[in-house]
Amino acid sequence: MEVKILKNILGANDQIAERNRMLLEQNNIFTVNIMSSPGAGKTSLILQTIKRLKDKTRIGVIEGDVSSSIDAEVVGREGVPVIQINTGGSCHLDANMVSNALNNLPLTNIDLLFIENVGNLICPASFALGEHRRVIISSIPEGDDKPFKYPVMFHDADIVLLNKIDLLPYVKFDSDAFSRALRSINEKLEIIPASCTSGEGIGEWLSWLLAQMGGS
């Protein structure tokens, strides 16, 4: 008699994330998971990107929040397909929530999908969603010590966008200390200083994004 042994190599979330990724790749959709503290500028970065790229690339958005549909309403006004996920109380998106959202998006009409995670520098890092890249936004008013306090999130990022640099003259923030802290956690991590208000650095962000899409 032969005994069948089933190895559960991936946990449930990772299995669903892999299925999401396959579905996204079948549809040639490059997907970016954007994570940050509350109010660091996730929605602002998505809006800036839509405004500058929407004539070149078909963009879709999944908005994650514990509660409310404020962000989806703002993004929807730009004329792109958007789905709001309310987690109810959960502090992060998971692959199953994203799977449900993908079932409700016009996938054949999207080339670039942003998933805006729940505002939280801890929990979202542990949940793969099927994304191709992970972007962390850190903002000047939060202070230069965040990489030390939330190392897992920064360790697993593909890039850090340092937002709100227009506020540098008004707050205490040591840019060199921030860079050193980041490098001590992930020495290859690229930092793009930017401001979604003034537009500074957004060109560099778009260059990075388009290069990733080309070479994904």
As measured in angstroms, the least distance from the Cβ of 162 to a copy of itself is: 13
Helix axes 202-214, 42-53, angle to 10 degrees: 70
CA distance 114 to 212: 14
Q: From the list 53, 122, 191, 206, which residue makes contact with a copy of itself (rule: CB under 8 A)?
A: 122
CB under 8 A: which stretch of 17-25, 67-75, 100-108, 199-207 binds a copy of itself? Answer: 67-75
CA distance 150 to 28: 33
| Angle made by CA atoms 79, 82, 88, in degrees to the nearest 5 | 145
Instruction: Give the DSSP letter of residue 2.
Output: P
Instruction: Give the nearer residue to a copy of itself in terms of CB position, either 81 or 119.
Output: 119
193 touching a copy of itself, by CB under 8 A: no
CA distance 134 to 39: 18
- Give the contacts of 143 (CB within 8 A, at least 6 positions apart): 172, 173
168 touching a copy of itself, by CB under 8 A: no
39 touching a copy of itself, by CB under 8 A: yes
As measured in angstroms, the least distance from the Cβ of 149 to a copy of itself is: 5
Instruction: Using CB under 8 A, list all residues that contact a copy of itself.
Output: 37-39, 65-68, 70, 89, 91, 118-123, 126, 139, 141-143, 145-146, 148-152, 164, 166-167, 170-172, 197
